[in-house]
Structure 1
C-alpha cells in the first residue's frame, strides 16, 4: 500500500515563506461578545473571508502553481471546483501569468462563477443531473487535461495544497503568540479537507495541546466518518446543503492522512445553525460570511463542544456570497 505524504513542519514553513509574499495577512479578531455568549474564556476568529479572492484557497493554489515545471506553467492548468478554489486558483494564475481552466458544476453560485472569470480563467460548466456533481466535474477536468495537455490539479487531495493552506494556521499561531495567547480548541470547516489538513498539521507541530474539530454539514460528514472508522468512507448522495463548498462526498487521501496525524475529530452542523452563525458574524463581528465560511462558527455557537473557560480559535473560511443569497439566508431561507 502506498503511503500518503504528510508534509513536515519544514515543508509547511517553506510554503508559507513563498505564499506570504502573495497573500495578505488576515486579522485575528478577539471577540468578547462571543466569549460571553458561549462561556469561553476567549474566542478568536480568523476571517479568511478577507483573504484575496474571498477565501483561504489562494494560499494553497499559489503554492501549487509555484511547484509546476516551466513547461506545465507555460501550457496551463485545469481543475474542478464549486467556487472558492476556482477563484483562488484563477487569482493565483493571474498573478503568476499561468493560464487556468476551471470546470464548475452548473449549480455553483453565480457570484463565484462570475468572480472566477473576472480573474481571467476559462470556465467550463457541467450538468451533473442525478450524479454526484464533483464526480462529473472531475471527469470533465480529466478529459480536458488529456486532450489539451494541461496539468490537472486537484482542489484538495494534494500534499502541496495541504502544505500551502497551512499558511492560515501558521499565521494564526504567530498572531496568538504576539498576544501571549494560545488556543485550547480549534474549529475549522471541512469540505475535501485541504485547509484543515494544513491548519491541523501546523497546530500539531507547534501547539500539540490544541484540540482540533473538523466541522461538516449534516449528510456530508465523510471526513468525520472516515476519521471515526480509520478508513476513507464515501457518503451517499442525499439532500443538498446550503454549504455548497463543503459538499464533498469523501475526503481526499492527503487531507485524511494529515487529520489522522493531528488527531482531529469530526462534528456536524445543520443549515439552520449555519444561517444563525452568518447572522451573528454580521451583527457581532461585522463580517459577511458565506454558508461554508460560517460552518465552524455554527459549531461553536451550537454548543457542539464544551468550551467553558477555554480559549477558542474559529477559522471563518470564506465570504463569497451574493447580496441576494446572503439576504435569503438572513430571512431563514425564505425569499
Structure 2
C-alpha cells in the first residue's frame, strides 16, 4: 500500500482526485495498562503500521466511506442522521468522528473518504484509534477547525465511547495523534500533559518484538467494561474520584476497606501499574533500558493474576520468551487475546522468536505473528 495507490483508488471510487492524504499509526503500549480511564500514566509508542485516508470535503451533508480492507462498497450516510450505537461495523468509527465533531459544534458538512490500513485488526494494536484519528485530522485540516492534537484525540475517544459503544480510555488516540518518531509517549491521562521520551533501542543493541497471538480480541464484549466499572467502584469505596489518587505508597490498611475481592484485585493492578510506569520512566531517563525488562514481566503477572485479562496464548509468549533469554515480556492492550511485547537483546531476537514459535506449535496453537517495532511518527498529512 502506497499513498499513490490510495489516492488512485479514491479517484476510481469517487471520480475525482482527493483533496489530500493523511496517515495515523497504530500503537503498542510499553507499560501502563487499564490505567488510562483511571486518570493514570501510560507509556505507548506509535507503530510503523498506519491507516491512510484519502479525503475530500463535501458541503451537502453527505458522508461517503469506503475501506480497502473490508468487503463491500461505499457506505453512504447523512451527517444530520448519524445516531450513536446504531451499528454499522467498521464505518461506525469514522462516522462516529464526524458525529463527535458536529456534536462539539464544529461545522463538518460531509466528506468522501477512502481508507486503507496496515495496522493488524484484533491484535490489540489500536487499529480503531488509527481509523478515528486519521479521520479527525483530515477533517480538522479540510474544514479549518484549528483543533490541537489532544483535542482531536479526545473527540476520537468520544466517538469510540459514545458512538461505537466501547468504554476505552484516551491512550490509544493520544498515542496515534501525538507520538514522535524515536520516542515513547509518557502521558498523564488526567490532564493530557505528555513528554516525548527518547527510546533508541538500536543504539543500545536492543529490539522490541511484538507477538500477535492471532487470538482476536474485541473490547465491546463486556469484559473491558466490567473492569472499568470495577475500578470506578473501587474509587468510590476508597473515597477518591479516580484510582490515580491512590498510590503504591498507601498503607495496606487503606485497601482493606475493599471487602470485594474482585474490586481489590482491580485496584491493586491499577495502583501498581501506575507505579511501574514511573519506574520505567526513571530507568529510561537513567539510560538503563535493559532494566525495564523485569518491570514488563512483573506487569504481565499483575494483568494475569489481578486484572485477569490475559489468556493461555499470551501467558505462553511471556513464559517462552523469558525462558529463551528475553529481558522481559508482557501482554499489551486490552487483553483476552491480541499481542504481547518482548524486550530482547538484538542478538537474541531470532532465537527468542523461534522459541515462541516452537512453544506455540507444541501447544497446538496457530503460529503467532512476530515482528520488531521501532517508535514511529504520529498522525500527519502526507
Query: Could you tell me the TM-score, scaled by structure 2's length?
Result: 0.24
